[in-house]
Amino acid sequence: MASGKISGVTIRVRVGDSEIEVTGPKSYVEKKIDEFLKKPPTSRSGVSVSPLTADSVRPELKGKPMSAAQFFKKCNPKTDNDRVLVAGFYLEQVINLPNFTASEVRDQIKEAKRQPPKNVNDSINQNIKKGLLMSAGDRDNKIAFVLTSDGEEQVKEMLEEGKA
């Protein structure tokens, strides 16, 4: 800011399953983040949002965490890109990680007893191009990723199709 140029900032905040990303002047971003933190999270319809847990995905598992294999079976991802997306969703929503790395995705797919992509990073990049994943900075000297809202919706659609 020494040059007198106004620069924008981008901040992403996640509280439970609710998330906001705001870009703009610092005062605007701070105002929007404060508003987000002061009101309880709601869905687009105005109904309170409940987190997607093993209980909500599969009620008969109350009190027990859903395994990766169970979750993959429910979603039934057919492509490498879908398997990467489902693994990321599982890590974020069931395991409650704030973000994930490519190696964590690969390990999660293996834990689910599915064949991981030959190149997990390529599948991640393809999902980024589709707007389903995005970079979340670095963690432990590795690039971290998170699902976008579109990515979450796509996995939820896979879950719904699995119920049919």
For the chain, residues classed under CATH 1.10.10.10 are 54-163
- Quick one: pLDDT at residue 40? 54
Three-state DSSP state, 95: coil
Q: How many CB atoms lie within 10 A of CB 135?
A: 12
- In the chain, how long is the greatest CA-to-CA distance? 60
**Residues 6 or more apart whose Cβ sits within 8 Å of residue 31:** none
> Taking the complete model, does pTM exceed 0.85, yes or no?
no
Q: Which two tokens stand for residue 6?
A: 């106004």
CA angle 86, 91, 96 (to 5 degrees): 140
Q: Could you tell me the fold of the domain covering 54-163?
A: Arc Repressor Mutant, subunit A (1.10.10)
One pLDDT digit (tens) per residue for the chain, 164 residues = 444 444 577 777 777 667 777 777 877 778 877 777 776 554 443 434 444 444 444 444 445 678 889 889 988 899 999 999 999 999 988 888 899 999 999 999 999 999 999 999 999 999 999 999 999 888 888 999 999 999 999 999 988 887 65
Matching residue, tokens 């439970």 = 16
Residue 128: enclosing H or E segment and its boundaries?
helix 120-129
Residue 126's pLDDT is 94
- Which secondary-structure segment (H or E) carries 107? helix 102-111
Strands 133-139 and 142-147 turn out to be antiparallel
Q: How far is CA 153 from CA 19, 25, 33, 148, 150, in A?
A: 14, 29, 23, 9, 5
* Predicted pLDDT at 35: 78
| Tokens 């008969």, residue located | 60
Rounded to whole angstroms, how far apart are CA atoms 158 and 141?
32
pLDDT for 27 equals: 79
